[in-house]
Amino acid sequence: MARGVGRATLVLLDSDVDENPPELRRLTGQLYGGDERLRIQQEIILGIAGIRLLSALDIHPGVLHLNEGHSAFAPLERARAWAAGDGIPFAVAHREVAQQTVFTTHTPVQAGHDYFPPELVLEQLGWLARDAGLAPHELLALGRVNPNDEHERFCMTVLALRSAARANGVSALHGRVSRRMWQALWPARGEGEVPIGHVTNGVHAPSWLAPQLSTGYAHYLGADWRTRLASPDAREAIAGVADAVIWETHQLLKRRMLAYVARRSMARANEVVELDPAALTIGFARRFAAYKRPTLLFTDGDRLARLLNAPGRPVQIVFAGKAHPRDDDGKRLLQLVVAMTRDPRFRNRVAFVEDYDYSVARHLVQGSDVWLNTPRRPAEACGTSGQKAVFNGALHCSVLDGWWAEAFDGTNGFAIGDGHAHSDPAVQDARDAESLYRVLEGDVVPLFYDRDADGVPREWVARMKRAVATLGPRFTADRMVRDYVLQCYLPAAGGMSSEMRR
């Protein structure tokens, strides 16, 4: 089915139709779950059926944009149809399709890339090889780093990289990591010459911005504030907003968030979590995975307890998130965080909000004082939750990974660590835990509780203004789409690249 979403058309694929037998109807019933066979069949639906559906709808895209390797069968199907229609060799058609294809990789974590046994690929796609005039080993070679290794598993990311003339990571650091990660595909090139660039992710600010702040931005910057954020006069306008106005608005949003957390806890456990509106509130909400280290704060429980319960300067933490259904390590980390909410040392200082969804995320990014991100560098490709929080006045406190590695300037948030990664993960975790405690104890907490006679933390608010002024213009979806158009889509469609425009 096709539905309108804003000015775009969203096409939805569903195998649960009467004409299909039961084993096919279930294929699109659940995104995560099942075995490798179900996974590859879902990706065949996305890539191959997706291209066929576009053709049936008489939609002929000038550019294909693959997000992760899940859709990498799309250029194969497009090349197969092109070769059959024009009577040209598949290899020629595949090269032409690649010129019109853009690929974005979203993870530097090996587990985030799909690999399939060669025999399963041939079982499911042997028909495509025959139609395209490919020998089985030629089809498999498209998904192998070493095309001649008969035992190497078929990788969807490798297929995507071989099928797209333009590829990118989602932050500057992730681009560098991806070039190193996939250099073997271009053995004759040095790491810096690997053709993988970057377009740093951005967020759609109106979807995450609190209504009160949206009204405020429009009042101080004008109705067109989204397009004016990067202008010098916009920065001056932000700097000129009264500190008390910013602080009072943030306190309102914080109380609203804490009331939401209390309602959710009451509904789920019949026990209200009594968080303190006056306490420094740290938010942590994202997918629970080992590399994101959600329990880094609990490395030294006694030290954390002293920090959270300091007389006159209390701190509280609100967690939310889910683990991938097949990520047992992530599930254990989540269980550990929930257990910490029941530790007497952390009672009413650590809370966990269940059933993480858009509503939970929106409330937390709008009401937190600090947004915490603790990935093990360089495993965080981007980490956009912090961008959502920044627009709402939260200060980002993160390891220098993902977008924060290119965003932090020393005055627009807080940094954990110095950007170096130790070869031993245990040593790195210990270093980052120590840095996190020192940043909270020595920088974050003192700055938050340093108030003037009116109860306003002037230096804290100055940093909030600085964050919005320096980060807001750079990490929006508007900027991201503009980068994709100039760097990727126009060149892929035969238009001018940004370099040509200069």
CB atoms closer than 10 angstroms to residue 2: 10
Determine the 3-state secondary structure of 248 from DSSP: helix
Burial-class residue 406 by CB neighbours within 10 Å (0-12, 13-18, 19+): middle
5 or 474: whose pLDDT is higher? 474
Determine the 3-state secondary structure of 450 from DSSP: coil
163: closest CA among 84, 81, 61, 94? 94
3-class SS letters over 345-360: HHCCCEEEECCCCHHH
Query: Domain 205-475 sits in which CATH superfamily?
Result: Glycogen Phosphorylase B; (3.40.50.2000)
Determine the 3-state secondary structure of 168 from DSSP: strand
User: Peptide bond before 457: cis, by omega within 30 degrees of 0?
Assistant: no
CATH topology of domain 31-198: Rossmann fold (3.40.50)
How is the chain split into domains, by residue range? 31-198, 205-475
Site of tokens 């000038």: 62
Average pLDDT over every residue of 35-49: 95
> What length does the chain have?
502
pLDDT-derived band of residue 497, with 50, 70 and 90 as boundaries?
A: very low
| pLDDT > 70 in the chain, percent | 96
pLDDT tens digit sequence for 223-278: 888 888 778 888 888 989 999 999 999 999 999 999 999 988 765 655 667 899 99
pLDDT surpasses 50 at 500: no
Determine the 3-state secondary structure of 109 from DSSP: coil
Q: Is the CB of residue 186 less than 8 Å from the CB of residue 162? A: no
Asked, colleague to colleague, whether 31-198 and 205-475 share their fold, the answer is yes
pLDDT tens digit sequence for 277-301: 999 999 999 999 999 999 999 999 9
Cα 142 to its chain centre, rounded Å, is 27
| pLDDT > 90 in the chain, percent | 84
Average pLDDT, the chain: 93
Handedness of CA 484, 486, 490, 494 (dihedral sign): negative
